[in-house]
Each structure stands twice: as structure tokens, then as C-alpha cells.
Amino acid sequence: MEQNIKSITIYTKETCPYCMMAKNLLAQKNAQNIVEIRVDLNSDELDNMIKRSGRKTVPQIFIGDIHVGGFDDLSALNRSGKLDELLNK
């Protein structure tokens, strides 16, 4: 498997089970360069996430500049085989 060199940004909250599941899925894919931004610790980052994604829920995941969406979206990409393509483009 090629090593991912794209930056992955994941906006999270500490108590969010979907955030943990998204991080676990990315870890299973050996994703590198993951930047976790805790929006529960910084309201400015919450505002940035909302502006960037158009959504108010976490997690919000970006691979490079591509907005993947939340955990359900990430999981659907994985089931379709497109997550590997996106990580290794």
C-alpha cells in the first residue's frame, strides 16, 4: 500500500463516539498526516469548521482539500473502495 502524503484534517469533540470511529478507520487504513482539531476546546475552530464544511456536527473530515463529510460518509467511501483511492491519489 502506498503511503499517504495528503494532509487529513478531522474536526472532533472529546466525547464524540463517531469521531473515535472515524479516527479508528483512518488508523486501519494507515493514514498519515492526520491533524485533529478539537472544536470543543476552541470555539474559533468550531466557527472555522462550520464555514469550511457547511455543517455543525462532528466529525468533519477533509482529505487534502476534499470535504469527505462525517463518519457515515467516510464509512460509505470505505465500503465502496473509494477511500483507498482518495487516500493514495
Structural contact between residues 25 and 34, judged by C-beta atoms closer than 8 angstroms:
no
Name the class of domain 8-88: alpha beta
Mind listing the pLDDT tens digit for each residue in 2-41? 444 679 999 999 999 999 999 999 999 999 899 999 999 9
pTM confidence score: 0.91
Residues 6+ apart with CB under 8 A from 37: 9, 10, 11, 12, 45, 49
**Dihedral over Cα of 39, 24, 63, 17: its sign:** negative
Mind listing the pLDDT tens digit for each residue in 34-66? 999 999 999 999 999 999 999 999 999 999 999
Give bridge partners of residue 67 from the DSSP assignment. Answer: 62
